[in-house]
Structure 1
Amino acid sequence: MDKEDLDTFGERLYSLIYPKHKESAAKLTGMLLELPEAVLSQVLQDEAMLTAAVEKALRALQLAPESSEVAHNDDDVPESSDSLGEQLFELVDVYNTGHSQKITGMLLEQHKEAVLQLLSDPKLLGEHVNLALKTLKERNIEETDFSDASEADETDRLGEKLFSLVEQMDPLHANDITGMLLEMDSASLQQLLSDHTKLEVAVQKAQAVLDTES
């Protein structure tokens, strides 16, 4: 989002938040501006979404140490791991990523001091949330690509072996027959490749199907 868009969103958000939350309107607006652009657009158009986002941001402000006038007794804020996790989750959940639990877990892997800094700096937290979200998406894409690629490689490899054997039996229809046999699962294909008799039977069946179609 460029600066001009950010300013426009900021002005509109502030004007909507200010009537109900005069004292913390600026901080709440700043926190919500860290949301993805698509979510911001929805928030500005949907009053219920805006209310929910503001409530989450308010809770986060109250939980975060030294981050708001609304926070009570900063010195009494417990700093156990569980408490930090809960506070961080509340803040992360404001960003509506759909991965609040995972992102919170990733951020909690840092040193306690770093986590405390995230709790008191909404801008820094926003950067870390976006980075964690990007990492999660990349991981997901890599896993999907890897499994897709490995399956595709396996099919290609079996296809090449199969074609060379089928071509010896029926050079004219080798392509069609190989294509039909490749619809079988890989375990069955491995059997065909290791048992010439089974392969001959499968090729004959495929030839019979081709004859009826022609």
Structure 2
Amino acid sequence: MDEDLETLGEQLYTRIYSEHKEAAGKLTGMLLELPGPVLSQMLQDEAMLTTAVEKALRALQLEQDPSRVTCKDEDDVSESSDSLGEQLFELVDVYNTGHSQKITGMLLEQHKEAVSKLLSDPKLLEEQVNVALQTLKEQNEETDVSDLSDADDTEKLGEKLFSLVEEMDSLHANDITGMLLEMDPAVLRQLLSNHTMLEAAVEKAQSALDTGR
């Protein structure tokens, strides 16, 4: 398996070097984090390779030029969040899951620091993409069984969420749960199984409540 990866790496490096001499090593390293079958496909599909290299190059430029993410006021903060979302979408899209938009939305529910970490840690990103994909598959299977269960499903999710949110902020549990329930059910299920993500979402809701007062 390692030898295969080495061969793929050499072939990728040769192809990338002709276009991006200085960054060829780093770009090849980033692309080698992708699954083997995807890499093989890239070597046969020039357009796919070009797109992946462009995405890796953008992520690399961001790492080398953090000033693009620094923020001075509220407008810049939202702008940097948008730009994080765009970069995350670019990287998620490389996996060709067919659900890039939804998966990116699910991952963006985390703290900005966690999202930034995903941009610079391809292994972590791959794990989270797989988890999100699994969640979406389960959600689709449930939807196929019965569309009528959606209301019941949201109610059950709401009850579970409320009990968890109440432990964190009993005073505003109703308001916060109501805000969280506006999210996609797949994201809600992820919040229930990932305490860190839930805490981040609750903090976001608390900030929104404070701003609204």
TM-score normalised to structure 2 length: 0.55
Kept after mapping to 2: 8 A contact 1:57/1:94: no
Residue of structure 1 equivalent to 2:8: 9
Q: 1:138 to 1:116 in 2, by over 3 A?
A: same
Q: Which has the larger radius of gyration?
A: 1
Residue of structure 1 equivalent to 2:60: 61
Q: How big is each residue's C-alpha offset from its partner over 1:14-34, in whole Å with a ceiling of 9 and x where there is no partner?
A: 221122212222222233223
Q: Give, in whole Å, the separation in 2 of the partners of 1:95 and 1:43.
A: 12
Measured after TM superposition, the shift of residue 6 of structure 1 is 2.5
Residue of structure 2 equivalent to 1:19: 18
Total equivalences in the alignment = 140
Measured after TM superposition, the shift of residue 114 of structure 1 is 0.8
Which secondary structure does the structure 2 equivalent of 1:58 belong to?
Answer: helix
Structure 2 residue runs without a partner (length 5+): 71-76, 150-213
Q: Please point out which of 69, 88, 91 is paired with 1:77.
A: 69
Q: Give, in whole Å, the separation in 2 of the partners of 1:96 and 1:16.
A: 21
Kept after mapping to 2: 8 A contact 1:92/1:103: yes
Residue of structure 2 equivalent to 1:87: 87
Which secondary structure does the structure 1 equivalent of 2:133 belong to?
Answer: helix
Q: How big is each residue's C-alpha offset from its partner over 1:54-103, in whole Å with a ceiling of 9 and x where there is no partner?
A: 122222322x3x3xxxx43x134245332321222222223332221111
Residue of structure 2 equivalent to 1:104: 104
Measured after TM superposition, the shift of residue 142 of structure 1 is 4.5
Residue of structure 1 equivalent to 2:122: 122
1:132 matches 2:132: yes
Q: Give, in whole Å, the separation in 1 of the partners of 2:129 and 2:22.
A: 26
Measured after TM superposition, the shift of residue 13 of structure 1 is 1.3
Q: Give, in whole Å, the separation in 2 of the partners of 1:142 and 1:83.
A: 33
RMSD: 2.7
| AA of the residue aligned to 1:77 | V
Structure 1 residue runs without a partner (length 5+): 151-214
